[in-house]
Amino acid sequence: MISAFDLFKIGIGPSSSHTVGPMKAAAAFMSALDESQRSRLRRLQVTLLGSLAWTGRGHGTDKAVMLGLSGFSPETVDPDEADRRIAVVAATAKLVLRDGLTIHFDPVQDIVFNFDEPTPVHPNTLRFAALDQAGHELLAETWYSLGGGFIQREGETCSAAGSSAVIPFDYRSAAELIEMCDRSGLSIAQVVLANETALADETSVYDRLDRLVAVMFDCIDRGIRTDGQLPGGLKVKRRARSLHARLQASESRNVRHSIAAMDYASLYAIAVNEENAAGGRVVTAPTNGAAGVIPAVLRYYTDHCEGSSQEGVRIFLLTSAAVGGLCKMNASISGAEVGCQGEVGVACSMAAAGLTAALGGSSRQIENAAEIGMEHHLGMTCDPIGGLVQIPCIERNAFGAIKAINAASLALSGDGSHHVSLDQVIRTMRDTGADMQTKYKETSRGGLAVSVPDC
Protein backbone atom coordinates (compact mmCIF):
# COMPACT_ATOMS: atom_id res chain seq x y z
CA MET A 1 0.00 0.00 0.00
CA ILE A 2 1.09 3.54 -0.82
CA SER A 3 -0.53 5.77 1.77
CA ALA A 4 -1.93 9.22 1.07
CA PHE A 5 0.70 10.45 3.51
CA ASP A 6 3.47 8.87 1.45
CA LEU A 7 2.36 10.92 -1.53
CA PHE A 8 1.55 14.13 0.37
CA LYS A 9 4.50 15.11 2.53
CA ILE A 10 5.33 18.46 4.10
CA GLY A 11 8.80 19.60 3.10
CA ILE A 12 10.78 22.45 1.61
CA GLY A 13 11.64 23.40 -1.96
CA PRO A 14 12.78 23.28 -4.55
CA SER A 15 12.63 19.54 -5.32
CA SER A 16 11.28 16.39 -3.72
CA SER A 17 13.75 14.14 -5.55
CA HIS A 18 16.73 16.50 -5.37
CA THR A 19 16.09 18.22 -2.02
CA VAL A 20 13.66 16.27 0.18
CA GLY A 21 14.93 12.79 -0.77
CA PRO A 22 18.65 13.54 -0.38
CA MET A 23 18.02 15.26 2.96
CA LYS A 24 16.18 12.18 4.22
CA ALA A 25 18.84 9.83 2.84
CA ALA A 26 21.64 11.81 4.52
CA ALA A 27 19.81 11.75 7.85
CA ALA A 28 19.18 8.00 7.50
CA PHE A 29 22.85 7.38 6.78
CA MET A 30 23.87 9.25 9.91
CA SER A 31 21.35 7.26 11.95
CA ALA A 32 22.95 4.04 10.71
CA LEU A 33 26.27 4.92 12.37
CA ASP A 34 26.65 3.06 15.65
CA GLU A 35 28.14 4.60 18.80
CA SER A 36 31.64 3.30 18.09
CA GLN A 37 31.62 4.63 14.55
CA ARG A 38 30.35 8.03 15.64
CA SER A 39 33.07 8.34 18.26
CA ARG A 40 35.72 7.83 15.55
CA LEU A 41 34.03 9.91 12.87
CA ARG A 42 36.21 12.73 11.53
CA ARG A 43 35.08 13.21 7.95
CA LEU A 44 32.05 12.71 5.72
CA GLN A 45 32.11 12.42 1.96
CA VAL A 46 29.10 12.51 -0.36
CA THR A 47 29.00 11.67 -4.07
CA LEU A 48 26.07 12.75 -6.24
CA LEU A 49 25.53 10.87 -9.49
CA GLY A 50 23.23 11.03 -12.50
CA SER A 51 20.51 13.66 -12.42
CA LEU A 52 21.59 14.66 -8.90
CA ALA A 53 24.97 15.64 -10.33
CA TRP A 54 23.67 17.36 -13.44
CA THR A 55 21.00 19.50 -11.76
CA GLY A 56 21.96 19.16 -8.10
CA ARG A 57 23.37 22.66 -7.72
CA GLY A 58 20.27 24.28 -9.19
CA HIS A 59 18.02 22.12 -7.01
CA GLY A 60 20.04 22.69 -3.83
CA THR A 61 20.99 19.03 -3.42
CA ASP A 62 24.30 19.91 -1.79
CA LYS A 63 22.51 22.09 0.77
CA ALA A 64 19.92 19.40 1.42
CA VAL A 65 22.62 16.81 2.05
CA MET A 66 24.38 19.05 4.56
CA LEU A 67 21.10 19.64 6.40
CA GLY A 68 20.37 15.92 6.49
CA LEU A 69 23.85 15.11 7.78
CA SER A 70 23.23 17.69 10.51
CA GLY A 71 20.06 15.90 11.59
CA PHE A 72 17.39 18.12 10.03
CA SER A 73 14.25 16.70 8.41
CA PRO A 74 12.31 18.23 5.49
CA GLU A 75 9.05 18.35 7.43
CA THR A 76 10.33 20.31 10.41
CA VAL A 77 13.31 22.36 9.19
CA ASP A 78 12.70 26.10 9.04
CA PRO A 79 13.73 27.38 5.57
CA ASP A 80 15.33 30.53 7.00
CA GLU A 81 17.26 28.54 9.62
CA ALA A 82 18.36 26.15 6.88
CA ASP A 83 19.89 28.99 4.88
CA ARG A 84 21.72 30.29 7.97
CA ARG A 85 23.14 26.83 8.74
CA ILE A 86 24.43 26.39 5.20
CA ALA A 87 26.05 29.84 5.28
CA VAL A 88 27.90 28.89 8.47
CA VAL A 89 29.16 25.63 6.94
CA ALA A 90 30.40 27.49 3.86
CA ALA A 91 32.15 30.13 5.97
CA THR A 92 33.75 27.83 8.55
CA ALA A 93 34.16 24.51 6.70
CA LYS A 94 32.65 22.84 9.79
CA LEU A 95 29.53 20.75 10.15
CA VAL A 96 27.67 20.50 13.47
CA LEU A 97 25.99 17.11 13.78
CA ARG A 98 22.78 16.34 15.65
CA ASP A 99 24.59 15.22 18.82
CA GLY A 100 26.69 18.40 18.88
CA LEU A 101 29.83 16.83 17.40
CA THR A 102 31.63 19.25 15.07
CA ILE A 103 33.69 17.86 12.20
CA HIS A 104 35.64 19.45 9.36
CA PHE A 105 33.48 19.60 6.24
CA ASP A 106 34.36 21.53 3.10
CA PRO A 107 31.40 21.36 0.69
CA VAL A 108 33.67 21.99 -2.31
CA GLN A 109 35.81 18.93 -1.53
CA ASP A 110 33.44 16.70 0.43
CA ILE A 111 30.44 16.84 -1.91
CA VAL A 112 31.45 15.41 -5.28
CA PHE A 113 29.31 15.98 -8.37
CA ASN A 114 30.11 12.90 -10.46
CA PHE A 115 28.88 13.52 -14.02
CA ASP A 116 30.50 10.51 -15.65
CA GLU A 117 29.70 7.37 -13.67
CA PRO A 118 26.65 5.41 -14.94
CA THR A 119 23.59 5.04 -12.69
CA PRO A 120 22.11 1.69 -13.73
CA VAL A 121 19.68 1.36 -10.78
CA HIS A 122 18.24 4.86 -10.62
CA PRO A 123 19.29 8.23 -12.10
CA ASN A 124 19.07 9.88 -8.65
CA THR A 125 21.92 8.11 -6.85
CA LEU A 126 23.87 9.21 -3.76
CA ARG A 127 26.86 7.61 -2.07
CA PHE A 128 27.84 8.39 1.52
CA ALA A 129 31.09 7.51 3.29
CA ALA A 130 32.03 8.08 6.93
CA LEU A 131 35.79 8.18 7.53
CA ASP A 132 38.03 8.18 10.60
CA GLN A 133 41.10 10.34 11.29
CA ALA A 134 43.32 8.15 9.08
CA GLY A 135 40.80 8.18 6.22
CA HIS A 136 39.67 4.62 6.83
CA GLU A 137 36.06 3.89 5.94
CA LEU A 138 33.76 3.40 8.92
CA LEU A 139 30.55 3.02 6.93
CA ALA A 140 29.57 3.43 3.27
CA GLU A 141 26.08 3.32 1.79
CA THR A 142 24.42 4.00 -1.56
CA TRP A 143 20.95 5.54 -1.63
CA TYR A 144 18.41 6.27 -4.36
CA SER A 145 16.02 9.23 -4.37
CA LEU A 146 13.02 7.79 -6.20
CA GLY A 147 10.93 10.93 -6.64
CA GLY A 148 8.28 12.49 -4.44
CA GLY A 149 10.54 12.22 -1.40
CA PHE A 150 10.66 8.41 -1.54
CA ILE A 151 14.11 6.99 -0.83
CA GLN A 152 15.66 3.53 -0.91
CA ARG A 153 18.92 2.16 0.46
CA GLU A 154 20.86 -0.07 -1.92
CA GLY A 155 19.90 -3.69 -1.35
CA GLU A 156 16.59 -2.85 0.34
CA THR A 157 13.04 -2.60 -0.94
CA CYS A 158 11.35 0.77 -0.99
CA SER A 159 8.98 0.60 1.95
CA ALA A 160 5.88 2.78 1.92
CA ALA A 161 4.12 3.50 5.19
CA GLY A 162 1.99 0.62 6.34
CA SER A 163 3.18 -1.79 3.64
CA SER A 164 3.29 -4.61 6.19
CA ALA A 165 -0.17 -3.88 7.60
CA VAL A 166 -3.22 -5.93 6.66
CA ILE A 167 -5.35 -3.61 4.54
CA PRO A 168 -8.91 -4.34 3.39
CA PHE A 169 -8.53 -3.20 -0.24
CA ASP A 170 -5.25 -4.26 -1.86
CA TYR A 171 -5.73 -2.90 -5.38
CA ARG A 172 -2.87 -2.74 -7.90
CA SER A 173 -4.71 -1.23 -10.86
CA ALA A 174 -7.54 1.17 -11.57
CA ALA A 175 -9.62 -1.72 -12.90
CA GLU A 176 -9.21 -3.56 -9.59
CA LEU A 177 -10.03 -0.41 -7.64
CA ILE A 178 -13.28 0.20 -9.56
CA GLU A 179 -14.25 -3.47 -9.23
CA MET A 180 -13.74 -3.22 -5.45
CA CYS A 181 -15.89 -0.09 -5.37
CA ASP A 182 -18.63 -1.87 -7.31
CA ARG A 183 -18.51 -4.92 -5.07
CA SER A 184 -18.39 -3.04 -1.77
CA GLY A 185 -20.66 -0.15 -2.66
CA LEU A 186 -17.99 2.27 -1.46
CA SER A 187 -16.62 5.28 -3.28
CA ILE A 188 -12.93 5.52 -4.18
CA ALA A 189 -12.39 7.93 -1.28
CA GLN A 190 -14.09 5.51 1.11
CA VAL A 191 -11.90 2.64 -0.10
CA VAL A 192 -8.76 4.73 0.47
CA LEU A 193 -10.03 5.81 3.89
CA ALA A 194 -10.66 2.18 4.85
CA ASN A 195 -7.04 1.39 3.98
CA GLU A 196 -5.76 4.43 5.88
CA THR A 197 -7.74 3.48 8.98
CA ALA A 198 -5.97 0.12 8.98
CA LEU A 199 -2.92 2.18 9.94
CA ALA A 200 -4.44 4.90 12.14
CA ASP A 201 -7.81 5.88 13.58
CA GLU A 202 -10.16 7.95 11.45
CA THR A 203 -9.75 11.10 13.52
CA SER A 204 -5.98 11.01 13.05
CA VAL A 205 -6.37 10.51 9.30
CA TYR A 206 -8.70 13.49 9.01
CA ASP A 207 -6.45 15.64 11.22
CA ARG A 208 -3.46 14.89 8.99
CA LEU A 209 -5.44 15.61 5.83
CA ASP A 210 -6.62 18.92 7.28
CA ARG A 211 -3.04 19.79 8.23
CA LEU A 212 -1.90 19.14 4.66
CA VAL A 213 -4.60 21.44 3.31
CA ALA A 214 -3.63 24.16 5.80
CA VAL A 215 0.02 24.00 4.65
CA MET A 216 -1.01 24.01 0.97
CA PHE A 217 -3.25 27.04 1.38
CA ASP A 218 -0.71 28.86 3.55
CA CYS A 219 1.82 28.32 0.77
CA ILE A 220 -0.58 29.87 -1.75
CA ASP A 221 -1.13 32.86 0.51
CA ARG A 222 2.60 33.37 1.14
CA GLY A 223 3.27 33.20 -2.57
CA ILE A 224 0.62 35.82 -3.26
CA ARG A 225 2.00 38.14 -0.57
CA THR A 226 5.67 37.87 -1.53
CA ASP A 227 7.41 39.91 -4.19
CA GLY A 228 10.98 40.02 -5.47
CA GLN A 229 13.35 37.85 -7.46
CA LEU A 230 13.79 34.10 -7.24
CA PRO A 231 17.26 32.79 -6.31
CA GLY A 232 19.53 30.94 -8.70
CA GLY A 233 20.83 33.40 -11.27
CA LEU A 234 18.06 33.42 -13.90
CA LYS A 235 16.71 36.66 -12.41
CA VAL A 236 13.15 35.38 -12.60
CA LYS A 237 10.76 37.80 -10.94
CA ARG A 238 7.90 36.55 -8.83
CA ARG A 239 4.57 37.22 -10.53
CA ALA A 240 1.89 35.93 -8.17
CA ARG A 241 1.54 39.15 -6.19
CA SER A 242 1.15 41.34 -9.27
CA LEU A 243 -1.16 38.81 -10.95
CA HIS A 244 -3.38 38.86 -7.89
CA ALA A 245 -3.45 42.67 -7.87
CA ARG A 246 -4.44 42.77 -11.55
CA LEU A 247 -7.18 40.17 -11.01
CA GLN A 248 -8.63 42.17 -8.15
CA ALA A 249 -8.44 45.39 -10.18
CA SER A 250 -10.24 43.73 -13.09
CA GLU A 251 -12.98 42.52 -10.76
CA SER A 252 -13.46 45.99 -9.29
CA ARG A 253 -13.86 47.46 -12.79
CA ASN A 254 -15.99 44.50 -13.89
CA VAL A 255 -13.55 43.88 -16.76
CA ARG A 256 -13.56 40.31 -18.08
CA HIS A 257 -11.11 39.01 -20.68
CA SER A 258 -11.26 35.42 -19.39
CA ILE A 259 -12.96 33.24 -16.81
CA ALA A 260 -11.98 34.62 -13.40
CA ALA A 261 -12.05 31.26 -11.62
CA MET A 262 -9.57 29.80 -14.11
CA ASP A 263 -7.34 32.85 -13.76
CA TYR A 264 -7.33 32.34 -10.01
CA ALA A 265 -6.44 28.65 -10.45
CA SER A 266 -3.40 29.69 -12.50
CA LEU A 267 -2.51 32.28 -9.86
CA TYR A 268 -2.69 29.70 -7.05
CA ALA A 269 -0.39 27.28 -8.90
CA ILE A 270 2.14 29.99 -9.73
CA ALA A 271 2.13 31.22 -6.12
CA VAL A 272 2.95 27.73 -4.81
CA ASN A 273 5.70 27.04 -7.30
CA GLU A 274 7.34 30.39 -6.77
CA GLU A 275 7.46 29.53 -3.07
CA ASN A 276 8.91 26.14 -3.96
CA ALA A 277 11.54 27.69 -6.23
CA ALA A 278 12.53 29.96 -3.35
CA GLY A 279 13.02 26.97 -1.02
CA GLY A 280 9.85 27.63 0.99
CA ARG A 281 7.50 25.27 2.80
CA VAL A 282 5.41 23.17 0.41
CA VAL A 283 3.59 19.86 0.25
CA THR A 284 4.88 17.29 -2.23
CA ALA A 285 1.83 16.60 -4.37
CA PRO A 286 3.15 14.18 -5.45
CA THR A 287 6.47 16.01 -6.05
CA ASN A 288 7.83 19.48 -5.35
CA GLY A 289 8.23 20.29 -9.02
CA ALA A 290 4.50 19.62 -9.43
CA ALA A 291 3.50 20.94 -6.00
CA GLY A 292 1.24 23.71 -7.34
CA VAL A 293 -1.31 21.69 -9.30
CA ILE A 294 -3.27 19.99 -6.52
CA PRO A 295 -3.33 23.00 -4.12
CA ALA A 296 -4.49 25.21 -7.00
CA VAL A 297 -7.34 22.89 -8.00
CA LEU A 298 -8.25 22.31 -4.36
CA ARG A 299 -8.40 26.09 -3.74
CA TYR A 300 -10.44 26.43 -6.93
CA TYR A 301 -12.87 23.92 -5.44
CA THR A 302 -13.16 25.62 -2.04
CA ASP A 303 -13.33 29.22 -3.32
CA HIS A 304 -15.04 28.93 -6.70
CA CYS A 305 -17.27 25.83 -6.68
CA GLU A 306 -20.77 26.05 -5.26
CA GLY A 307 -21.41 23.62 -2.41
CA SER A 308 -17.76 23.05 -1.49
CA SER A 309 -17.19 21.62 1.98
CA GLN A 310 -14.56 20.24 4.30
CA GLU A 311 -15.88 16.76 3.52
CA GLY A 312 -15.38 17.49 -0.18
CA VAL A 313 -11.80 18.59 0.47
CA ARG A 314 -11.08 15.31 2.25
CA ILE A 315 -12.74 13.32 -0.54
CA PHE A 316 -10.58 15.25 -3.02
CA LEU A 317 -7.31 14.32 -1.28
CA LEU A 318 -8.21 10.68 -0.61
CA THR A 319 -9.31 10.16 -4.21
CA SER A 320 -6.28 11.88 -5.68
CA ALA A 321 -4.06 9.72 -3.47
CA ALA A 322 -5.53 6.59 -5.06
CA VAL A 323 -4.54 7.83 -8.53
CA GLY A 324 -1.08 8.95 -7.39
CA GLY A 325 -0.50 5.58 -5.77
CA LEU A 326 -1.38 3.77 -8.99
CA CYS A 327 1.05 5.97 -10.95
CA LYS A 328 3.79 5.36 -8.39
CA MET A 329 3.20 1.58 -8.31
CA ASN A 330 2.91 1.04 -12.05
CA ALA A 331 5.12 3.75 -13.54
CA SER A 332 7.00 6.57 -11.82
CA ILE A 333 6.60 10.04 -10.31
CA SER A 334 10.25 10.92 -10.91
CA GLY A 335 11.17 13.45 -13.60
CA ALA A 336 14.62 11.87 -13.73
CA GLU A 337 13.03 8.54 -14.68
CA VAL A 338 10.14 9.45 -16.99
CA GLY A 339 10.26 13.21 -17.56
CA CYS A 340 7.74 15.81 -16.44
CA GLN A 341 4.84 13.60 -17.51
CA GLY A 342 5.57 11.73 -14.26
CA GLU A 343 5.41 14.94 -12.22
CA VAL A 344 3.01 17.57 -13.57
CA GLY A 345 1.24 14.88 -15.61
CA VAL A 346 0.59 12.74 -12.55
CA ALA A 347 -0.36 15.78 -10.45
CA CYS A 348 -2.88 16.81 -13.12
CA SER A 349 -4.32 13.29 -13.20
CA MET A 350 -4.59 13.24 -9.40
CA ALA A 351 -6.19 16.70 -9.25
CA ALA A 352 -8.70 15.85 -12.00
CA ALA A 353 -9.76 12.74 -10.12
CA GLY A 354 -9.98 14.60 -6.81
CA LEU A 355 -12.08 17.44 -8.20
CA THR A 356 -14.43 15.03 -9.98
CA ALA A 357 -14.94 13.13 -6.74
CA ALA A 358 -15.48 16.28 -4.67
CA LEU A 359 -18.13 17.40 -7.18
CA GLY A 360 -20.00 14.11 -6.83
CA GLY A 361 -18.66 12.10 -9.74
CA SER A 362 -18.96 8.32 -9.92
CA SER A 363 -15.96 5.99 -9.74
CA ARG A 364 -15.99 5.63 -13.52
CA GLN A 365 -16.19 9.38 -14.07
CA ILE A 366 -13.29 9.80 -11.64
CA GLU A 367 -11.22 7.22 -13.53
CA ASN A 368 -12.10 8.97 -16.79
CA ALA A 369 -11.00 12.36 -15.46
CA ALA A 370 -7.71 10.92 -14.22
CA GLU A 371 -7.10 9.30 -17.59
CA ILE A 372 -7.80 12.54 -19.48
CA GLY A 373 -5.43 14.48 -17.25
CA MET A 374 -2.61 11.99 -17.76
CA GLU A 375 -3.23 11.39 -21.45
CA HIS A 376 -2.65 14.99 -22.36
CA HIS A 377 0.72 15.17 -20.64
CA LEU A 378 2.21 12.09 -22.32
CA GLY A 379 5.72 12.71 -23.59
CA MET A 380 6.33 15.88 -21.57
CA THR A 381 10.05 16.26 -20.94
CA CYS A 382 11.79 17.54 -17.83
CA ASP A 383 14.17 20.24 -19.10
CA PRO A 384 14.61 22.94 -16.43
CA ILE A 385 16.73 25.85 -17.56
CA GLY A 386 19.87 26.09 -15.45
CA GLY A 387 18.76 23.10 -13.40
CA LEU A 388 16.35 25.40 -11.54
CA VAL A 389 12.71 24.57 -10.87
CA GLN A 390 11.60 27.86 -12.45
CA ILE A 391 11.43 27.81 -16.27
CA PRO A 392 9.29 26.10 -17.51
CA CYS A 393 8.22 24.48 -14.24
CA ILE A 394 6.26 27.31 -12.62
CA GLU A 395 4.00 28.02 -15.59
CA ARG A 396 3.75 24.30 -16.31
CA ASN A 397 1.97 23.85 -12.98
CA ALA A 398 -0.56 26.52 -13.92
CA PHE A 399 -1.34 24.69 -17.15
CA GLY A 400 -1.55 21.40 -15.26
CA ALA A 401 -4.15 22.89 -12.92
CA ILE A 402 -6.26 24.24 -15.80
CA LYS A 403 -6.07 20.90 -17.61
CA ALA A 404 -7.21 19.13 -14.43
CA ILE A 405 -10.26 21.36 -14.11
CA ASN A 406 -11.06 20.83 -17.78
CA ALA A 407 -10.60 17.07 -17.44
CA ALA A 408 -13.02 16.98 -14.50
CA SER A 409 -15.56 19.03 -16.46
CA LEU A 410 -15.35 16.70 -19.46
CA ALA A 411 -15.64 13.60 -17.29
CA LEU A 412 -18.62 14.93 -15.34
CA SER A 413 -20.43 15.73 -18.60
CA GLY A 414 -20.31 12.06 -19.59
CA ASP A 415 -21.38 8.77 -18.03
CA GLY A 416 -17.86 7.47 -17.35
CA SER A 417 -17.52 5.36 -20.48
CA HIS A 418 -14.41 6.00 -22.58
CA HIS A 419 -11.99 4.20 -24.90
CA VAL A 420 -8.63 4.63 -23.12
CA SER A 421 -8.40 3.38 -19.54
CA LEU A 422 -6.36 4.92 -16.75
CA ASP A 423 -4.33 1.71 -16.52
CA GLN A 424 -3.49 1.93 -20.22
CA VAL A 425 -2.42 5.57 -20.01
CA ILE A 426 -0.25 4.93 -16.92
CA ARG A 427 1.44 2.06 -18.75
CA THR A 428 1.93 4.32 -21.77
CA MET A 429 3.48 6.99 -19.56
CA ARG A 430 5.91 4.41 -18.17
CA ASP A 431 6.86 3.12 -21.63
CA THR A 432 7.19 6.63 -23.04
CA GLY A 433 9.52 7.52 -20.19
CA ALA A 434 11.64 4.45 -20.90
CA ASP A 435 11.91 5.46 -24.57
CA MET A 436 12.73 9.10 -23.77
CA GLN A 437 16.37 10.10 -24.20
CA THR A 438 18.17 10.65 -20.90
CA LYS A 439 18.98 14.26 -21.75
CA TYR A 440 15.27 15.09 -21.50
CA LYS A 441 14.93 13.64 -18.01
CA GLU A 442 16.02 16.29 -15.48
CA THR A 443 19.60 16.68 -16.64
CA SER A 444 19.34 20.19 -18.18
CA ARG A 445 21.17 18.79 -21.22
CA GLY A 446 18.22 18.93 -23.63
CA GLY A 447 15.08 20.82 -24.61
CA LEU A 448 14.60 24.35 -23.27
CA ALA A 449 17.60 23.93 -21.00
CA VAL A 450 19.93 24.15 -24.00
CA SER A 451 17.70 26.07 -26.43
CA VAL A 452 17.43 29.04 -24.05
CA PRO A 453 20.79 28.90 -22.19
CA ASP A 454 21.07 32.63 -21.48
CA CYS A 455 17.52 33.29 -20.34
220-270 pLDDT, tens digit per residue, is 999 999 999 999 999 999 999 999 999 999 887 776 667 889 999 999 999
Looking at every residue in the chain, the average pLDDT score rounds to 94
Residues 285-297: tens digit of each pLDDT = 999 999 999 999 9
Q: Report the number of secondary-structure helices (H) and strands (E) in the chain.
A: 21, 9
Return the CATH superfamily for domain 18-145: D-3-phosphoglycerate dehydrogenase; domain 3 (3.30.1330.90)
The domain spans of the chain are 18-145, 174-440
More confident position, 82 or 414:
414
Residues 314 and 210: their CA atoms lie apart, in Å, by 8
Q: Are 130 and 33 in contact (CB under 8 A)?
A: yes
* Coil, helix or strand at residue 167: coil
For residue 161, what pLDDT band results from cuts at 50, 70 and 90?
Answer: very low
Answering whether pTM is above 0.85, one says yes
Q: Residue 15 pLDDT more than 60?
A: yes
Q: Tell me how far apart the alpha carbons of residues 290 and 426 are, in angstroms, rounded to a whole number.
A: 17
- Paired sense of beta strands 102-104 and 94-96, if any: antiparallel
pLDDT (average), residues 407-430: 97
Average of per-residue pLDDT across 372-395: 96
Question: Residue 163 pLDDT more than 70?
Answer: no
Q: 260 — phi, psi (to 5°)? A: -60, -45
Distances (CA, A) of 337 to 123, 158, 205, 232, 258: 7, 16, 31, 24, 37
What whole-number percentage of the chain has pLDDT above 90?
89
Nearest CA to 378 among 336, 433, 331, 423?
433
Q: How many CB atoms sit inside 10 A of residue 34's CB?
A: 9
More confident: 177 or 159 = 177
The pLDDT value recorded for residue 165 is: 73
Summarised one tens digit per residue, pLDDT across range 322-357 is: 999 999 999 999 999 999 999 999 999 999 999 999
Half-sphere exposure of 43 (CA within 13 A, CB side): 13
CA dist 271 and 24 (Å) reads 26
Task: For CA atoms 255, 256, 261, 266, give the dihedral sign.
Answer: negative
Fold of 174-440: 2-methylcitrate dehydratase PrpD (1.10.4100)
Q: Give the separation between CA 421 and CA 427, rounded to whole angstroms.
A: 10
| Residues near 189 by beta carbon (within 8 Å), at least 6 away in sequence | 314, 315, 318, 319, 322, 357
* Distance separating alpha carbons of residues 156 and 136, to the nearest angstrom: 25
